[in-house]
Amino acid sequence: YAFYNCNKLKGVEIKTGTTSISEYAFKGCSSLEKFSAYAVSRIGNNSFENCSSLKSFTTSGSVLSGTFGVENYAFANCSALETVSIYEGVDYIGDRVFSGCVNLTTANVRARPFVFVWDVFPSRGFIFILARMPGLNCSLHPQVEYSM
């Protein structure tokens, strides 16, 4: 709940020292437009839910050990979200991560083999670019284009 409903927060850049974004950390930050972080290994449940002005989310750098997950409802109802870039080594994406992200057009995820669970994607289609995904079942969502 670190910045929960902090309506004046417009941008966040985390260069080093943070490996996890906790549950509800930025939930309801209605003015947050851009978020970038280096070497984050966990994006917690509901961490950016209802950030209605969030347009871009980027992580960079590698997670050296452990698992990297984007947990349930992490970006739910981020209606302005257009681009998500998550690098490197995603192991899993939780339920309804992008539910209600009606403007999401591009999600770039460099991933280890992992499993998508139901309703990860919004109801409208968008381009989802995946890397290092051996054995991916491309019938997961008929409205999504996959590029290997």
More confident residue, 67 or 38: 38
pLDDT level of residue 121 (50, 70, 90 thresholds): low
Average confidence (pLDDT) over 58-83: 81
Q: What is the structure's pLDDT at 133? A: 41
Q: What is the structure's pLDDT at 45? A: 95
pTM of the model: 0.77
Q: Whole-angstrom Cα distance, residue 69 to residue 28?
A: 21
Average confidence (pLDDT) over 80-109: 79
Q: Whole-angstrom Cα distance, residue 22 to residue 1?
A: 8
Decide if pLDDT at 146 tops 50: no
**75 phi and psi angles, rounded to 5 deg:** -120, 20
- Cα pseudo-dihedral 67, 143, 146, 60, rounded to 10: -40
Q: What is the structure's pLDDT at 108? A: 73
Q: Which percentage of the chain shows pLDDT scores above 90? A: 34
